[in-house]
Amino acid sequence: MGTRWPQARRHDVTSTASDAIIGFVAGEYVFVDEWDVDAPQEAVFDVLADARTYPDWWRPVYPLAVEGDETVTDHRFKGKLPYTLRMHAEMVSSERPHRFEVRVDGDLRGKAVWTFTPHDGKTHVRWDWTVFADRRLLRYLTPVLRPLFRWNHNWAVARAREGLEPYARLHSGAGQQARA
């Protein structure tokens, strides 16, 4: 089996040669994040599968509303760095409460696969996030600033870890019983 080379993206006539080179050199970002959430698996799945809830608990990453329905959403979000990203997402598969997959396009292009498994009385969350930075500024800066962009992603995931558990517990049967 030979070496697999990344495929260069096709560019329209308005793209410059430098865009093609940067797009090819920049490559993809592959993130794998895992953590345990002390909430029922169904509740954790439901919260993450409905991106419209993100502004309620994933702060300050999602300061604005996520527009759309259960399967197709438009996002505006930001990390610690001084830029906002726009993304269109479509859920392409769902196996409640075990996993779902989302395809994204916009400033980021790729896919997210969320997997949920029971673990020691909690829900183990795994987020496989594979994207290309298609926003021109990000494409140009990726070869130099990739470590900073990874740090920004890690900062955003830490905010998800802080907000997801209390929100999922609150919206689960256990959370509702505790309030009664």
Structural domains of the chain, with CATH: 25-179 (3.30.530.20)
Q: Could you give the CA distance from residue 148 to residue 83 in angstroms, rounded to a whole number?
A: 13
pTM for this predicted structure: 0.81
Whether residue 164 contacts residue 47, with contact meaning beta carbons closer than 8 Å, is answered with yes
Q: Could you give the CA distance from residue 62 to residue 78 in angstroms, rounded to a whole number?
A: 7
Q: What pLDDT digit, counting tens, does each position of 90-143 carry?
A: 999 999 999 999 999 999 999 999 999 999 999 999 999 999 998 888 888 888
